Amino acid sequence: MRYYSNKRLVLTLLLLPWPVVLAVVIALDMSKQLNKPSGLSAFDPPSKTEETVKLIESLFSTNNIPTLAKAENVSNPFFVSQDKPKPAPPKEEEKPEQKPPPPPIVISYQGNLTTSMGENIAYVQVDEKLITVRLGDNVTKDYNVSEILTGNLVLTNQAGGKVEIPFNSNAEIQP
């Protein structure tokens, strides 16, 4: 904060004398005008001597300006040949990317349970996830449960293919 106040003080001291000096100059100029004879104006034109007239005429004369040489065999400055687009390279035939086949789904039959109403429920482990399924439920996207037996589990797909999975063993199915 101290720096700010010192800066303000310095600026004030620098700017304060100028209006006083300007007022003194104006007052002195006015006092000179008061002492002049009454027939003369304060804005008298300078005296016209022959030398000054020639000097002013030579400043505005067109004789001192050299003529421009006409250019020949010059290319148009507004035409640029470097910015033309390059021709596109021939396109190679793009081959569709072949996706690698998805990894097989590992299914393990863990056992079954019969409810009090007589409905069979099977415990199936699908890729590390244990699920319970009933007859007709989806085990994967394509395979449904068709039989639940004590010794094995039978899955069928929509094309009619059957997969038998023995108790407590793994089977791999391609999705």
Q: Which residues pair with 173 in a beta bridge?
A: 105
Structure tokens at 59: 């400043």
pLDDT in tens, 65-88: 777 677 777 777 777 667 677 788
pLDDT value of residue 86:
79
156 Cα distance to chain centroid: 53
Cβ(167)–Cβ(109) below 8 Å: yes
Distance of CA 102 to the CA centre of its chain: 37
User: pLDDT tens for residues 146-160?
Assistant: 999 888 999 999 888
Question: How far is the C-alpha of 140 from the C-alpha of 149, rounded, in Å?
Answer: 19
